[in-house]
Structure 1
Amino acid sequence: MTSQSVMPDLLGELIRAAHRQTAARRAEVPLTEVESRAQAAPAVRDFGAALRAPGLGVVAELKPRSPLKGPLTDDYRPAELARSYEAGGACALSVLAHTEGFGGHPADLATVREAVGLPVMRKDFIVDEYQIAEARAYGADAVLLVVAALTKDRLAELYAYAEGQGLHILVEVHDEAEAHTAVGLGARNIGVNHRDLRDFRIDLGLTGRLRAQVPADRVLVAESGVRSPVDARRLRADGADAVLVGETLMRSADPAAAVAELKNSQAHGTTQERS
């Protein structure tokens, strides 16, 4: 049974919401106009190179809420938060643009891109070329494609379209079969989401198990459940080139310090327990 056949209702609803939100924006601004804006957008920053930099990279995420945890902040200031993440040493930023589930908006991409010099990725359930063109039009440098949200053919179509827009791509997987799909697609950057799509439990051991399936020349980004420097150090030892961290940073009283602590976890050899 594939992960697509066991997707829980929450994930299915988030994907349906992505379709609804995209259709509403398309009705206001046609794809041809968005593609024209994308062509005039600032040059793409090298998201892939940022992930490949020496040491453990931290992709810091911006999102005002979570569909599982509810509000993560009552004072969402994307530009200010982005600057804090950059000051802490983040290698790139992930910006939630999904409105119904996460409280974000595609326009947040432009706000963040203008505030920092880091590469910016649109994180969303991308199901349509419109979202990809929209990401580039708002200044995004990369997009996330979730294997579980797409058929193989649709994944390949959207991957090719994103490449055509000059964007970098992070392909997210949740199990061995999806990792095989991502590698077969030729994905250079592969994200391992530790959250089980069936019951939403976190399995930090997944990155280590999938590393052997991913060629050494591909970048591996460990996603979800990274709560402390102990977790970051473990994932680096398991073969992760970077960690993508959202909730822990969003709840931190000092986001810059929290990013720095994760980034420097190996150097300092901290034995802090997970929060």
Structure 2
Amino acid sequence: MLEKFRAAKAAEIRRLVGLEAEQRLPAPYTGKRPSFSDALIAKAPMAVIAEYKRASPSMGDINLGLSPADVATLYAASGAAAISVLTEETYFKGSLDYLETISGCGLPLLRKDFLLHPLQVIETAATRASALLLIVRMLTDSELGDMLRLTYDAGLEAVVEVFDAVDLERAEAAGAHIIQVNNRDLDTLKTDFAVARTLAPKKRPGRLWIAASGIKTRSDVLAMAELGFDAVLVGTSIMSEPDPGAALAALAGHTEKAAS
């Protein structure tokens, strides 16, 4: 599955290499970025990162009638600590432009994509994103270290995604501060909280941990908090609902919105 995503990014990387050769890479964003980690800490241990997600390989199209601005407004009013924005175009129908639109809600944004090349970090730094996703399994140790350093130098935070203990060891060795544990099996696409339960005891002091995939109910959120996770990332289970705001409020325990 990850190799399919890698292939889908080849054209984007070629475009960025061409822009670099022409000295036309986008300039870094110079405005203030809200802190992604501070937003999670403020709502830990049950912070919810709500995802704007228009499609996925397993689900197909998801609520395409809702615009990025609509969803951002709903999420901001419904207890989200931050918003994950899928920008991958081929399989998730995302766009880098969504970061600009969604930033109007004031919450910190995570660019969720398959980032494999330093120029993708530079392009992200030209947006209003506060953080970006790096997937350990898609990078060598050297590449991961380089991508993290470039991310930090650009004033961005990195959410480093792991699937097992080997990934976690590599992420820690590279200098990751925010760890995202993905409960999804990449071969079957099924989710299993055993991944979170197995890795949770390995959490080091001073690290922020996010649980992702398979989280559908308030009890799931509470279970992840009990394991020591600081936040959960939730996409399909809220985006596929007729009212993603109400679904998010129920997950986040945001009683005002849920009652309304």
- Structure 1 length-normalised TM: 0.87
C-alpha displacement of 1:186: 2.2
Whole-angstrom CA distance in 2 between matches of 1:70 and 1:226: 19
How far does the alpha carbon of each residue in 1:193-230 deviate from its partner, in whole angstroms, 9 at most, with x for none?
A: 00012322211122222121120320110001111112
CA contact (8 A) 1:60 1:85 kept: yes
Task: Measure, in 1, the Cα distance between the counterparts of 2:96 and 2:21.
Answer: 15
- Name the structure 2 match of 1:89: 79
Say whether 1:129 aligns with 2:118. Answer: yes
**Distance in 2 separating the partners of 1:46 and 1:253:** 30
1:18 paired to 2:46: no
| Displacement of 1:34 | 3.1
* CA displacement at 1:76 relative to structure 2: 3.8
Residues 213-228 of structure 1: matches in 2 within 5 Å? 213-228=202-217
Shift of 1:52: 1.3
Shift of 1:54: 3.8
Aligned to 1:149: 138
Partner residue, 2:52: 62
What code does the residue aligned with 2:30 have? A
The residue number in structure 2 matching 1:102 is: 92
Once the two structures are TM-superposed, the CA of residue 28 in structure 1 deviates from its matched residue by: 5.5
AA paired with 1:94?
A: S
Unpaired segments of 5 or more residues in structure 1?
1-9, 268-275
Distance in 2 separating the partners of 1:237 and 1:74? 34
| 2:186 is equivalent to residue 197 of structure 1 | yes
The total of aligned residue pairs comes to: 254
2:209 match: secondary structure: strand
- Seq. identity, %: 32
Q: What amino acid does structure 2 have at the position aligned with 1:157?
A: D
Q: Please list the CA deviations of residues 42-65 of structure 1 after superposition, one character each: whole Å capped at 9, or x if unmatched.
A: 222100111112441000101110
**Contact 1:88/1:257 (<8 A) preserved:** yes
| TM-score normalised by L of structure 2 | 0.92
**CA–CA separation in structure 2 for the residues paired with 1:31 and 1:121:** 28
Instruction: Tell me which residue corresponds to 1:43.
Output: 32
Q: What do the CA deviations read for 1:80-103 (whole angstroms, capped 9, x no partner)?
A: 101111100100011011101100
Kept after mapping to 2: 8 A contact 1:64/1:73: yes
User: Where does residue 258 of structure 2 map in the other structure?
Assistant: none
Unaligned runs of 5+ in 2: 256-260
The question of whether the paired residues in 2 share the 8 Å contact of 1:62 and 1:78 is answered with yes
SS at match of 1:195: coil
Contact 2:148 2:175 in 1 (8 A): no
The CA distance in 1 between the partners of 2:87 and 2:23, in whole Å, is 21
Deviation at 1:30, TM superposition (A): 5.8
- Which shifted more, 206-215 or 19-28? 19-28
Contact 2:43 2:81 in 1 (8 A): no
Amino acid at match of 2:71: L
Q: Could you say what the CA RMSD is over the residues aligned between the two structures, in angstroms? A: 1.8
What is the rounded CA distance, in whole Å, between the counterparts of 1:20 and 1:208 in structure 2?
A: 38
